[in-house]
Amino acid sequence: MRITHLRGVELTDPAPERIAGFYEQIWGLTRVDAAGPSVYLRGTGPEYHILAIHPGEQATVRGYRLGLADRAAVDRAAEELAARPDTRIVAGPGALEGPGGGYGLRIADPDGREIELSAEVAPAAAALPGSTTSPADVVRADDVSVAGSVATAGGPPIRPAKVSHVVLNSPNAEDYLGLLIEVLGFRVADETEHMVFCKCNLDHHSVAIARAPHASLNHVAFEVPTVDDVLSGIEHMGAHGFETLWGPGRHPQGMNAFGYFLAPNGQVVEYTAEVEQIPDGELAPRFWVPEDYEVYDDWVDISSLRPTPETRTLMRGVPEVTVHGEWQQ
């Protein structure tokens, strides 16, 4: 099986409209659709939507969406998965009824979430009827042309292009890694004592699993065009009362610039840029220890080499006790 990319993340929240307001008005995403009480938001990239927020009893990550090349790839995946006694298909393969449509299936992960495998999803252009501006043509609020940035009067100056990666805390980390690597075809890019970074394309990682005592969201990273956008994002978030939890810095695993923040629902989110691109033929996974970390840039906050104990606690998240069950459409 060959996963093409991470399409997006599905969250639950007791007040979807409230947290959607943060992502739309502060974080820089754009609302594209609503289906009942759920809200769907896009970035400046080609995906119809990269974030869905559904009603739920607590703030959780309900699942995430992965791309496959075409309908035939979905059908082949379904056959492979159906033959595995350790993998449960929850729905499909078949037409997807949610915003953006497509053809796909959903499987259960070891922690009770669901993973969508899909193809033929409508591109973002279809999500914005009447738009005459492509992501590569727009400009920032200061009129400096930056591919992937969007300028809107009075809107956020930072506009993420896509979900770069999602990191999940799991009490079943080894089983989860087995699913990603042995079943879905991810490759290990790097590893630390507590975390394994897994890639499905050129990006250093799209999904990472953190060994933890309970299932929860560690963080979701949203990719912006440049390091300057990360730094501007830190300034922008601070101006709106959101303290930087960690950063600015550059991770040695993936060499991506970062700034972390706490969203109003208690989940950790990241602006990131310059994610390392690694062809499979050049993949050389490394086990990193704290002594390996160093400062790579003069703009880096020296204290950002490692997260504080307080930040680690926030990234550990609240145990997800909600049974997600069947996804609403």
Count of alpha carbons within 13 angstroms of residue 216, beta-carbon side: 20
Nearest to 32 by CA among 18, 46, 13: 46
- The residue among 57, 44, 219, 8 whose CA lies nearest residue 147 is 44
CATH class of 5-123+160-316: alpha beta
Position 157 confidence tier, pLDDT thresholds 50, 70, 90: confident
Q: Which residues pair with 222 in a beta bridge?
A: 163, 271
63 CB-near residues (< 8 Å, 6+ apart) = 9, 10, 106, 109, 113, 114, 115, 116, 324, 327
Predicted confidence (pLDDT) per residue in 120-134, tens digit: 999 987 444 333 333
pLDDT digits 0-9 by tens, 277-328:
999 999 999 999 988 888 888 899 888 889 999 999 999 999 998 655 443 3
Supply the mean pLDDT for the chain.
88
Model pTM above 0.75: yes
Residue 144 — very low, low, confident or very high, per pLDDT cuts 50/70/90? very low
* Contact present, 229 and 160 (Cβ < 8 Å): no
Evaluate the omega torsion of the peptide bond into residue 93 and state whether it is cis, within 30 degrees of 0. Answer: yes
Domain boundaries, the chain: 5-123+160-316
**9 contacts 58 by C-beta, under 8 angstroms:** no
